[in-house]
Amino acid sequence: MDNELPDTAEAMEAKETAESVPLGWKALFWGLILWGAYYLYAYSPWTTGWTQAGELEHVDREVGGNVLMTVLFTALATLSAVALLLVQRRRKP
């Protein structure tokens, strides 16, 4: 049979991408590190004094939460995923 797969993982590895990491993965990696550093700074009581109790004091009771921040954090993650998808699609031969 001509369509048999090789026996080893090394033989199945794509040679053109064996030594390089795609740009999208690099962007995701560094973006997550930067996001984590910002998040640790912004939401740590010892750097900014932020606390959950303090945040709840500023919540609008009619709305039930900070809708703008919820939408912003959702939109940032969605835009990042879409940008990563577009970069990966553009790189295909």
For residue 64, what pLDDT is reported? 59
Task: For the chain, give the longest Cα–Cα distance.
Answer: 71
Q: From first to last of its 93 residues, what are the pLDDT tens digits of the chain?
A: 567 777 777 777 767 666 778 888 899 999 999 999 999 998 888 888 888 778 777 776 666 566 677 778 888 888 988 988 888 887 765
pLDDT, residue 36, reads 92
Residue 54 has which token pair? 């303090």
CA distance 23 to 84: 9
Contact 49, 43 (CB under 8 A): no
Report yes or no: 85 and 27 within 8 Å, Cβ to Cβ: no
Nearest by Cα to 36 from 48, 45, 28: 28
The structure tokens 């031969």 sit at 93
